[in-house]
Structure 1
């Protein structure tokens, strides 16, 4: 599955480059790309795309035989060749693309990861951890699948305890009802 996902990511990024459409890996694949190694078996591919260019992004997926399978409150799910894509829009703020409600710098312009020998854009470590904080607010950590526990630990180790604690405190301030 991982080798198939990596090839698919490369196909998607090739098509995106042809359209001058920036895309960012998110979730577990972003962690792996930022670390420069595959750390676990993946079940999906998280992608961030420019929100105002959703039609172009969907056309790219369709050109690869893909289709949107479900609308979500944060974006949509799609299928390309049997691979699940979890797609979330970023918004242009006049300087950069950003994920909504996430610390600034969530979608860096530079390729900050490597996947299958290819430099790739990834969501920032802050955005990756922010996503885990949301997940923890919905699902108790004791109920997390082993793959999420392992990936969260890798992300925490990559940025350090002080950074994680600072981000967690900022998240708690932004989410007072939790």
Structure 2
């Protein structure tokens, strides 16, 4: 998944008046302000009211449904070849800001901004990206991401990441 692919989706959504928040490894790199490792996919957070339109935009960009047994209405993948896929994480909050549907993104987690190839993007806030990345046993890419976030933002490095 190239930076140009990420930005093409971000631009298409912005032109349609939609906000998507970059999540996962691309979020880490956006927060760091530079691409630090290869990415085979893009994770995005999408409000429930916008999910169908974002799916249409992805289809227009050449992405097709790529069903897996783990798919849910709030978490599914569209792919364009083996190294370009988008994992949609759909959420909704109630009037009080509590998660009422889908992926548990606290409202304050959707306040981050970063840059990809010098362009500003909305993303998961750094503190929350760090929290999400340290909530499960790390793969090699997670070791890299958490160490980079800790170094840039001064977060404590858990022992398992040392």
TM-score (norm 1): 0.73
Provide closer, same or farther for how the CA distance between residues 91 and 126 of structure 1 changes in structure 2, counting only shifts above 3 A.
Answer: farther
Aligned to 1:122: 123
Aligned to 2:91: 90
Q: Offset of 1:127 from its aligned partner? A: 2.6
Q: Answer with 62-71 or 72-81: which moved more.
A: 72-81
Aligned to 1:10: 7
Partner SS, residue 136 of structure 2: helix
Structure 2 CA distance for aligned equivalents of residues 93 and 158 of structure 1: 33
Gaps of 5+ in 2: none
Provide closer, same or farther for how the CA distance between residues 62 and 148 of structure 1 changes in structure 2, counting only shifts above 3 A.
Answer: same
**Runs of 4+ in structure 1 over 2 Å off:** 70-74, 92-104, 133-136, 156-162
Question: How many positions carry a matched residue from both structures?
Answer: 152
Aligned to 2:144: 150
Aligned to 2:57: 60
Which whole-Å deviations, capped at 9, do the CAs of 1:43-89 have from their partners, x for residues lacking one?
21111111222111110101111122126245111113540212101
Larger relative contact order, structure 1 or 2 (CA cutoff 8 Å, min sep 6): 2
Aligned to 2:35: 38
Partner SS, residue 134 of structure 1: coil
Q: Is the CA contact 2:98–2:106 (under 8 Å) kept in the aligned structure 1?
A: no
How well do the aligned residues superpose, as a CA RMSD in angstroms?
A: 2.6
Structure 1 CA distance for aligned equivalents of residues 78 and 147 of structure 2: 28
Which whole-Å deviations, capped at 9, do the CAs of 1:67-126 have from their partners, x for residues lacking one?
221262451111135402121013244487978434441112xx6111012110111123
Which whole-Å deviations, capped at 9, do the CAs of 1:127-166 have from their partners, x for residues lacking one?
3123223322xxxx4xx22x2211111122233245x78x
- Of Structure 1 and Structure 2, the greater helix share is in 1
Q: Is the CA contact 1:49–1:89 (under 8 Å) kept in the aligned structure 2?
A: yes
Partner SS, residue 20 of structure 1: coil
